[in-house]
Amino acid sequence: MSGRRVLVLNGPNLGRLGSREPDVYGSTSYKGLVEECTRLGGELGLAVEVRETNDEGELIRWLHEAADGSVPVVINPGAFTHYSYAMRDAAAQRTAPLIEVHISNPYAREEFRHTSVIAAVASGTVAGFGIGSYRLALRALAEELAG
C-alpha cells in the first residue's frame, strides 16, 4: 500500500453483508466491500485499511487512533449512528476529514434511523447508494485531501 493512509471503519452487523437483508443492503459480501474499497483507494492514491467490529469500544479506540495520527476516516457506524454519544464524542476529536456512510437511505426507513448523532461532527455524509456510498465517500475524501 502506498499513498495517504485512510481508515474505512464499519460497525455492527456490517461483516454480514451479502447475507444480511440483501433487499436492504445488497448482495455484495463484506469481502467484496473490502476489495472494492482497497482497489478504488489505490486508484485514488489512498492506502485504505478496512476494519469491522461489533464492539462500540473498539470503534471508539479506532477513532482515537485516527485522531492521534491525523488519519482520514470513512465510517459506517451501523446502528451506533443513532444513539452512541460516546462514538460521536470520539468522532468530534477528528484531526482529519471524516465521512459518514450508509448503504441504505436511513430517511427512507424506520423513524429511529432518521437521527444521526455522528453527522454533526462529520465532514459530510453519503447514504443510499448501496456499496457505491463507500466509493462516493472515498472519491470525496480524495478530493478534500487534494484541495
Chain centroid to Cα 27, Å, comes to 18
Please provide the DSSP assignment of 21-61 as one string. Answer: -HHHH-S--HHHHHHHHHHHHHHTTEEEEEEE-S-HHHHHH
Show the DSSP H helices in 44-131 as ranges: 56-69, 85-92
Q: Which residues are annotated as a binding site?
A: 76, 82, 89, 103-104, 113
Distant-in-sequence contacts of 56-63, Cβ < 8 A, 24+ apart:
56/11, 56/80, 56/84, 56/86, 56/87, 59/9, 59/11, 59/87, 59/90, 60/86, 60/87, 60/90, 62/7, 62/9, 63/9, 63/87, 63/90, 63/91, 63/93, 63/94
Express each pLDDT in 76-91 by its tens digit.
Answer: 998 888 889 999 999 9
In the residue annotation, 114 being an active-site residue is answered as no
Name the binding residues for substrate.
76, 82, 89, 103-104, 113
The ranges assigned to domains in the chain are 4-146
pTM passes above 0.75: yes
CATH topology of domain 4-146: Rossmann fold (3.40.50)
pLDDT at 104 over 80: yes
Q: Over the stretch 118-137, which tens digit does the pLDDT of each residue have? A: 999 999 999 999 999 999 99
Active-site residue (options: 64, 102, 114, 134): 102
